[in-house]
Structure 1
């Protein structure tokens, strides 16, 4: 049994092996892109919303509401980044119920790439919001002696994000495979329900943590989120 989709080669493209992680990642990105294009193609004030547009608006408003509660301030800029992370992780995990689908989030390479994107986004958002000098000062809070610890904390966030998401999704896939071998007629339904629930929870946690980290970098010095989060 392959524990990670990195070990599964789907096909060779001009002599370059394409593993399941890359293959299913592009499938997820393609589904999200096509769905957004189809739903928003008639996104005009004079066109009454259909059920798909209404569903999309509910999802977007729900994500925006969660971000607003965390940021405690203007947070429209976070919607595009954190919302995209949530939709990608959620759809990757939800497609686990399709027989043969291997979620890219069960690969450590995918979760590491997502975590790196958060690590890059934190200083970018911080510098754009507070300026280069203002952002760098956060590494000296509450005193300059904390500089190395704040830097270590910054990188430990990314490591924890990657390992947490990878571990939860991979372990769920392994448990499902074991249970399917024990009782193939009963456990599939149970594992499908648990897979849907776990997938949504992991997507929510990942997006929320990314929002918290970015909000801490963009908050004003007087705001509680300006203090470094060491969780």
Structure 2
């Protein structure tokens, strides 16, 4: 199921299709930037209600990173927090009648590749090139082929898990609306609660958790 092309950019004799999922991401990025500017201005020692909510979110992400990766990975907090916010917004657009961009495999592939690069780069930074290459020989040298396959399939696994879950949810909601027609304004509400809110938040949580766990494992394997 390919997203609709909104418009086409022509650059150096090349045509670049700008799809609806890309436009939705641009809008969400603009919203997040505006909210970040509003919520982070006028920070006070005694927090307001708005600041308290923001601090709870920051502490939650801090806790997740610390409990899953350890104190040595505090630098991961901004990355994991930003990914969580962005995925949350993308997964919840169905509540306002806009198909989630994460039902587009190109979008989930982008997230998966980003996580894959961060995982590998963090591993190399933490344990060095030698330690990184050594991890392919764990627990013994003949496992190198399986370890390479594991590395290659990692982004594929992250991509398809998020894509399939969001696509299926979006399809079910669409089928229900098509079948109910004039009565669709009442009955699908519980389905939105499950497929948009519950499933959307769960998929966001699973994605960031796997990113943290895989990063920790990649670093640990090279240290053995």
TM-score by length of 1: 0.86
- RMSD between aligned alpha carbons? 1.9
Q: Residues of 2 paired with 1:71 and 1:179: CA distance? A: 41
Distance 2:63 2:130 in 1: 30
Q: Distance in 1 between matches of 2:114 and 2:188?
A: 34
Tell me the CA shift for residue 44 of structure 1: 5.1
Matched, 1:58 2:59: no
Match among 5, 20, 23 for residue 9 of structure 1: 5
1:20 has 2:17 as partner? no
Residue 202 in 1 paired to residue 199 in 2?
no
Structure 1 match to 2:104: 107
Q: Quick check: 1:147 aligned with 2:147?
A: no
Structure 1 unmatched runs, 5+ = 227-231
Q: Which residue of 1 is the match for residue 186 of structure 2?
A: 186
Question: Following the alignment from structure 1 to structure 2, what is the Cα–Cα distance between the partners of residues 50 and 12?
Answer: 45
In structure 2, C-alpha distance between the alignment counterparts of 1:185 and 1:93, rounded to whole Å = 21
8 Å contact from structure 2 (residues 135, 221) kept in 1:
no
Q: Which deviates more, 111-120 or 79-88?
A: 79-88
Shift of 1:83: 1.9
Output aligned runs, 1:25-44, within 5 Å. Answer: 25-43=25-43
Partner of 1:229: none
Given the two structures, how large is their TM-score scaled by the length of structure 2?
0.89
Q: Does 1:125 align with 2:126?
A: no
- Aligned pair in 2 of structure 1 residues 90, 142: CA closer, same or farther (>3 Å)? same
When structure 1 is superposed on structure 2, of 163-172 and 80-89 the one drifting more is 80-89
- Cα separation, 2, equivalents of 1:155 and 1:13: 32
Q: Deviations over 1:78-106 (max 9, x none)?
A: 2122222211111111121002x122111
What's the CA shift for 1:120?
0.6
Within 1, Cα distance between the matches of 2:220 and 2:51?
33
Number of residues paired by the alignment? 216
Contact 1:180 1:187 in 2 (8 A): no
Unaligned runs of 5+ in 2: none
Q: Is the 8 A contact 2:90 2:101 kept in 1?
A: yes
Shift of residue 217, structure 1, vs aligned partner: 2.0
